[in-house]
Amino acid sequence: MDGWIILDKPRELGSTQAVGAVKRNLREGGYAKTKVGHGGTLDPLAEGVLPIALGEATKLAGRMLDASKIYDFTIKFGEETETLDSEGEVIARSDRRPPMAAVAAICEHFTGPIEQIPPKYSALKVNGKRAYDLARAGEDVELKTRNVTIHALGLTNEISCAPIDSAFLTSAGRPDPYDAQIPLELAESVTLTAHVSKGTYIRSLARDIAHALGTCGHVTYLRRTKAGPFHESQAISLDLLNEIGKGARLEDHLLPLEAGLDGIPALSLDPDNAQAVRQGRIVSGLPHSDGLYFAKLGDVPVALIQLTDGTVKIVRGFNCT
């Protein structure tokens, strides 16, 4: 049981609860006890791709934290909440609704390296305490600005708009920008897709986009469609996970350990070198270019290694048979 279950996490289920659900279903399905961990927290109000590592794959779970992610998210304009999502109390309101053209244009402004302030309702620690615990206790929470990267940001197809009569907000797509009879589209809400680096808070991104458009807003829908190498097409539902506990084959849904190492080339070792790597002895003289490799003996994972001038340095060893 060394590998990955990619769970399509439903709303209201926490990441730790998801790990517990996997453990319970493995136990009820009669599988041997094994280590289980998740590859990156997903907020309870969010849904989508949550990689769950089993056995030796848990040694790679930390790599998922550093991986980029892709999210679909909906911003509702006109109200900002204390949590920056639909769970919190409204703390600001605005009558302004941005034109669709302005929403599309602002995406470029938020693409690339940016700075953002994380939500005060987050799991980040301030003086040893979780920010959300301090915020819920009524304390003033100040979080430092962090540098993140938005690799790509753009509109999806779900945009709810209302017509207005003004001819002066934008002329995008108009044959005559002064013809007041041609209605503009104001976005009541908009769904965007963002490919982001580790550490990016989508709720903060939504807040900042709304502010840049001269209004305020909060996230009403958040779905992670990709985490590192794992895509939503590989994910199974909670109902399907529960079927494993009732006797369905785990093997039908378990991705191999190396699925978490997408893009890292494999390197085949002979039995002597594989044994040396497992014992932590020096292996040198390998005729390969410098770089990171997934070392295997046949089909059996041996280690994640760094090769420099033909000499092996073990990054992470695997105890697989």
Tokens standing for 27?
């136990």
Burial of 140 (0-12, 13-18, 19+ CB in 10 A): exposed
DSSP 43-68: -TT-EEEEEEEEGGGGGGHHHHHHS-
Residue of 2, 8, 43, 72 with catalytic role: 43
Evaluate whether 205 touches 74 at the Cβ level (below 8 Å): no
Provide the Cα torsion 227, 235, 27, 38; round to 10°: 10
Enumerate residues 6+ apart whose C-beta is below 8 A from 48.
8, 9, 42, 71, 222, 223, 224, 225, 232, 235
Evaluate whether 87 touches 35 at the Cβ level (below 8 Å): no
Helices (H), the chain: 15-28, 61-66, 100-109, 131-136, 202-212, 238-245, 271-278
* Count of CA atoms in the C-beta half-sphere (13 A) of 177: 6
Q: In whole angstroms, what is the distance from residue 273 CA to residue 296 CA?
A: 10
Q: In whole angstroms, what is the distance from residue 311 CA to residue 314 CA?
A: 10
Q: In whole angstroms, what is the distance from residue 222 CA to residue 75 CA?
A: 9
- 3 state DSSP class of 77: strand
Evaluate whether 152 touches 111 at the Cβ level (below 8 Å): yes
Q: Please say if 43 is a catalytic residue.
A: yes
Buried b (16+ CB within 10 A) or exposed e, 156-165: eeebebeeee
CA 184 to chain centre: 34
Query: Looking at the annotation, which residues are catalytic?
Result: 43
